[in-house]
């Protein structure tokens, strides 16, 4: 093939099917949004990328050296149904020009196979589409070791698009992620824990064209927050980087402490979810956002029965979307595997499951109202007041490089005091001094201990102890804390 004839690599973008069946005005707006989003995303890769908008497609023409990165971005951009990769040739004025470059480009695909040539033609030429197909097919049949031409049921189809004297030889076809372009369906605030459910729910709202901001309720200190920021940044960068979104962190440890003081144990989980929605509503109001999204799925845990979800929703006037409501856990995990958030979710603790002991599964409306009246809402107001806002694109790129606390397994290696931070009443038995301080009391109680000792935090899985040890070290400058893992 004459390499001087190849000017660029081209991608032909087909819009999501639902876009094309919209009314004229809505369709025009969504097509413009797809175009604007692609211009924004691809301009960050190279200023030499050209994007052209048409009624039924978008064409992206890019230098050969950035093809792989452009392809990846297109596959992860909402609003795209199909992506055709094409090699573009200019000045294709004769059938002889066309048959030679097509054969040199596609001969390797038809060896030992039946094949057929299909051509779509636009503009004015001296020949018809059928003549292109017959000429190219006959030439390639003569020049290659194939099983022949098959007009029906061919093993390989060579697709050509000829627009005036410009020829596009389609080399690959990819299915896009579908959905609507981000920015076409407004904004939402996603309650983000960093686990499987909240990350998949956020992905689905982004796929549906909703500009998705993230709100995080910090129950586990700096390390937990860094972990959730990491997955939020991943989701934004992969699927939503056409728009700037915010990450809001609300310190919720004092709220949890107040729950343990004022709420009956069976209603703690329901109350925590209600308070999260109330705080989210306050933040959403400041951002002019009309809806919230959660990763809740009906019957997955005690707080997600229909009755308890109804009790939780009473706490807010905002629309609450639950895209996972009818999905099973395996379905959710399958999506997480597909979008790449599994590795984040697997290491993320589920704090909402920590709080209730013997949780109610069919709450009572009057009892919930009674429990709610006992809560001191000035603590919630203070937590919201201390919210931290950051643009996701401005997050520290080294958020994954958090320091891990030292783990001790042999208690005879030093003079240690073990602190059992589990919320249960039982306490681990060890060969050294052992204290019982539930995780939600650590912030206030640890400072009362003699600070000339070495303390080892203990919990069953080691996650809570790591995160709370990290929090006290980073936030309070304690250097005498390690983690105990027998």
Average pLDDT, the chain: 90
Pick the CATH number of 407-484 from 3.30.70.1230, 3.20.20.140, 3.90.550.10, 3.40.250.10: 3.40.250.10
Q: What pLDDT, on the 0 to 100 scale, is given for residue 401?
A: 46
The one catalytic residue among 62, 119, 352, 459: 459
Residue spans per domain, the chain? 8-175, 187-400, 407-484
Decide if pLDDT at 6 tops 60.
no
pLDDT tens column, 277-302: 999 999 999 999 999 999 999 988 88
Question: Whose CA is closest to 351, among 477, 454, 197, 246?
Answer: 197
Instruction: Give the alpha-carbon dihedral of 151, 153, 154, 156, to 10 degrees.
Output: 130
Under 8 Å between Cβ of 199 and 231: yes
Decide if pLDDT at 4 tops 50.
no
Give CA–CA dist 415/392, Å, rounded: 43
The CB density around residue 299, as the number of other CB atoms within 10 Å, is 13
Give CA–CA dist 363/376, Å, rounded: 21
pTM of the prediction? 0.81
Question: Whose CA is closest to 339, among 231, 244, 230?
Answer: 231
Q: 161: alpha, beta or left, given left = phi > 0 and alpha = psi -120 to 50?
A: beta
pLDDT tens column, 342-355: 888 876 655 544 56
pLDDT tens column, 237-268: 999 999 999 999 999 989 998 998 999 989 99
Decide if pLDDT at 187 tops 50.
yes
Task: Tell me the average pLDDT across 71-87.
Answer: 95
pLDDT tens column, 404-459: 678 899 998 889 999 998 877 789 999 999 999 987 788 788 989 999 999 999 98
CATH topology for the 8-175 domain = VC0802-like (3.30.2130)
Decide if pLDDT at 220 tops 60.
yes
Q: What pLDDT, on the 0 to 100 scale, is given for residue 219?
A: 82
The CATH code belonging to domain 187-400 is 3.40.50.620
> What's the token pair of residue 377?
């809402």
pLDDT tens column, 95-108: 999 999 999 999 99
Give CA–CA dist 381/412, Å, rounded: 46
Residue by residue, DSSP assigns 74-110 as: HHT-TTEEEEEEEEEE----SHHHHHHHHHHHHGGGS
Side-chain-side CA neighbours of 376 within 13 Å: the count stands at 13
Task: Tell me the average pLDDT across 363-383.
Answer: 96
Give CA–CA dist 95/87, Å, rounded: 17
Decide if pLDDT at 400 tops 50.
no
Residue by residue, DSSP assigns 180-205 as: PPTTSS-EEEEE--SSHHHHHHHHHH
Q: What pLDDT, on the 0 to 100 scale, is given for residue 438?
A: 86
Which of 26-35, 139-148, 227-236 has the weakest average pLDDT? 227-236
Which of 5-9, 161-165, 343-347 has the weakest average pLDDT? 5-9
Binding-site positions for ATP read: 191-192, 273, 295, 304
119 is catalytic: no
Q: What pLDDT, on the 0 to 100 scale, is given for residue 304?
A: 86
Q: Which percentage of the chain shows pLDDT scores above 70?
A: 92
């Amino acid at each position: 093939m004459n390499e001087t004839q190849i000017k660029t690599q081209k991608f032909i973008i087909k819009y999501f099917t639902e876009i094309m069946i919209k009314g004229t005005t809505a369709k025009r707006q969504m097509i413009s949004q797809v175009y604007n989003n692609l211009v924004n995303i691809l301009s960050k890769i190279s200023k030499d990328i050209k994007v052209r908008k048409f009624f039924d497609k978008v064409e992206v023409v890019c230098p050969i050296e950035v093809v792989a990165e452009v392809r990846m971005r297109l596959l992860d951009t909402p609003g795209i149904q199909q992506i055709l990769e094409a090699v573009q040739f200019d000045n294709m004025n004769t059938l002889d020009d066309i048959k030679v470059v097509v054969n040199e480009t596609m001969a390797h695909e038809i060896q030992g196979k039946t094949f057929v040539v299909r051509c779509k033609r636009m503009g004015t030429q001296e020949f018809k589409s059928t003549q292109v197909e017959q000429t190219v097919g006959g030439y390639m049949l003569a020049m290659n070791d194939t099983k022949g031409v098959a007009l029906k049921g061919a093993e390989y189809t060579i697709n050509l698009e000829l627009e005036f004297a410009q020829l596009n030889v389609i080399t690959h076809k990819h299915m896009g992620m579908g959905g609507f372009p981000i920015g076409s369906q407004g904004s939402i605030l996603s309650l983000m824990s960093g686990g499987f459910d909240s990350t998949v729910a956020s992905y689905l709202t982004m796929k549906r064209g909703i500009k998705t901001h993230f709100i995080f309720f910090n129950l586990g200190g700096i390390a937990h927050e860094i972990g959730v920021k990491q997955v939020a940044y991943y989701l934004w960068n992969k699927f939503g980087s056409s728009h700037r979104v915010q990450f809001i962190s609300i310190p919720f440890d004092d709220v949890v402490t107040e729950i343990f003081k004022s709420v009956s144990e069976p209603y703690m989980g329901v109350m925590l979810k209600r308070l999260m929605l109330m705080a989210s509503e306050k933040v959403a109001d400041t951002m002019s956002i009309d809806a919230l999204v959660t990763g809740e799925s009906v019957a997955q845990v005690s707080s997600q029965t229909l009755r308890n979800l109804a009790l939780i929703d009473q706490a807010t006037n905002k629309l609450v979307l639950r895209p996972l409501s009818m999905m099973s856990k395996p379905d959710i995990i399958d999506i997480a595997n597909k979008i790449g958030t599994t590795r984040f979710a697997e290491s993320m603790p589920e704090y909402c499951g920590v709080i209730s002991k013997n949780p109610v599964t069919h709450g009572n409306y009057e009892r919930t109202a009674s429990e709610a009246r006992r809560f001191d809402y000035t603590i919630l107001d203070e937590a919201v007041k201390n919210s931290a806002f950051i643009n996701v694109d401005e997050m520290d790129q080294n958020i994954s490089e958090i320091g891990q606390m030292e783990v001790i397994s042999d208690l005879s290696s030093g003079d240690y005091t073990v602190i059992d931070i589990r919320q249960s009443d039982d306490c681990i038995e060890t060969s050294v001094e052992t204290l019982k301080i539930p995780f939600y009391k650590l912030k206030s109680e640890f400072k009362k201990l003699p600070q000339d000792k070495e303390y080892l935090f203990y919990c069953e899985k080691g996650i809570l102890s790591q995160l709370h040890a990290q929090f006290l070290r980073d936030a309070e400058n304690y250097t005498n804390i390690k983690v105990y893992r027998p």
